[in-house]
Amino acid sequence: MSYLFKPKNYNPVLNLQQTELGITKIKDFFQANLSAELRLRRVTAPLFVLRGTGINDDLNGIERAVNFPIMDMGDVRAEVVHSLAKWKRLTLGDYGIENGYGIYTDMNAIRADEELGNIHSLYVDQWDWERVMSAEERNIEFLKMIVRRIYATLLRTEYLVSESFPDIKPCLPPEITFIHAEELRQLYPDKTPKERETAFAKKHKAIFIIGIGGALGDGKKHDGRAPDYDDWSTIAENGLPGLNGDIILWNPVLEIAFEISSMGIRVDKSALLRQLELENKKERLEMYFHKRLMEDTLPLSVGGGIGQSRLCMFFLRKAHIGEIQASIWPDEMKEQCKALNINLI
């Protein structure tokens, strides 16, 4: 079911022409700086993959992939990607990328089961990135180092935007704040996961929540994660599980916690087996991706996705992702946006 946040007295800072210019500036600058910061090279990525290979990202495990038959291959079915979490790791192995280096790509996806609203669209565009790492780096301090480098790129991008459009004032703090999902639960025991994110992000403005995907102390998950890419079960800092997380910013226009990246250290063989068993998905071990991992033909890696439209939406102070990208919206939402001075593309 679609849902629209209705900001009070919304008046876009930039007109349509300025917005398009801003989108170009942000995308060009951010990807160049992210590439330099993490030592990533750009690669070409697929829009669809073959069904049944285990390569597609199944997100929370309930979302349906858009699929179609390939006439010239006996009607075998292909799926439009949800993300490239596993494909990237295969590519690292096939390209022979060295330790400390990685890849990034422009990922375009269709997620037909998204609940449409200010921050969710049928069309998903993000920078998907993946970097080779060593076994000794599979720890929480290495993860935090990577997060801080990404955040440094965000700060530089914010400065570029404020210099280009002086009416947009910087709002990010100089440092990002880390907290584990279990610590967040204990801090706000009477709130839902989303309410906890809102309260903590409002206070700190830029946060990274560690350990998303596994059960917390109350037996519930902070949020879902597929069992076969992020490592959310390895015991890490303070005896708490998880080597992954989300980068979340406080959105001053919508006044909500605003996720811009899901990322983490990826599963090794033991974490994959453990998480597949926890999620009752051991049959996946017969799939191509999982066999490659178990046969040690894939490197250890860290990676994630960073939303392109979301990043532009945040820095250009837009109230709806439809002000950044062209997509399809319910008629009722289009009428509501028009009344709120939200100009959908």
Catalytic residue chosen out of the listed positions 31, 79, 89, 111? 111
Output DSSP code: residue 97.
P
* Separation CA 138–CA 266 (nearest Å): 9
Structure tokens, 109:
């996806």
Considering the candidates 125, 128, 158, 259, report the single residue annotated as catalytic.
259
How far apart, in Å, do the first and last CA atoms of the chain sit?
21
As to burial, measured by CB atoms within 10 angstroms (0-12 exposed, 13-18 middle, 19+ buried), residue 149 is middle
Across the beta sheet with 76-80, the strand order is: 48-50, 76-80, 67-70
Distance CA 197, CA 179 (A): 10
Q: Which of 129, 102, 57, 110 is nearest to 287 (CA)?
A: 57
| Tally of residues, the chain | 345
Distance between CA atoms of residues 328 and 206, nearest Å = 30
Q: Is 99 helix (H, G, I), strand (E, B) or coil?
A: coil
> Is 259 marked active-site?
yes
Task: Please pick, among 31, 35, 83, 126, the residue that the annotation labels catalytic.
Answer: 126
Taking residue 334's Cβ as centre, other Cβ atoms within 10 Å add up to 14
Active site (annotated) includes residue 186? no
* 246 counts as catalytic: yes
CA distance 273 to 189: 31
Which of 31, 57, 233, 275 is catalytic? The answer is: 57
Distance CA 267, CA 133 (A): 12
Considering 230, 246, 268, 323, which one is annotated as catalytic? Answer: 246
Q: Tell me the C-alpha distance between 283 and 267, whole Å.
A: 17
Specify the DSSP element, H or E, that contains 340.
Answer: none
Q: Are strands 206-210 and 177-180 parallel, antiparallel or unpaired?
A: parallel
Catalytic position from the list 31, 83, 261, 262: 262
As annotated, the active-site residues are: 57, 111, 126, 246, 259, 262
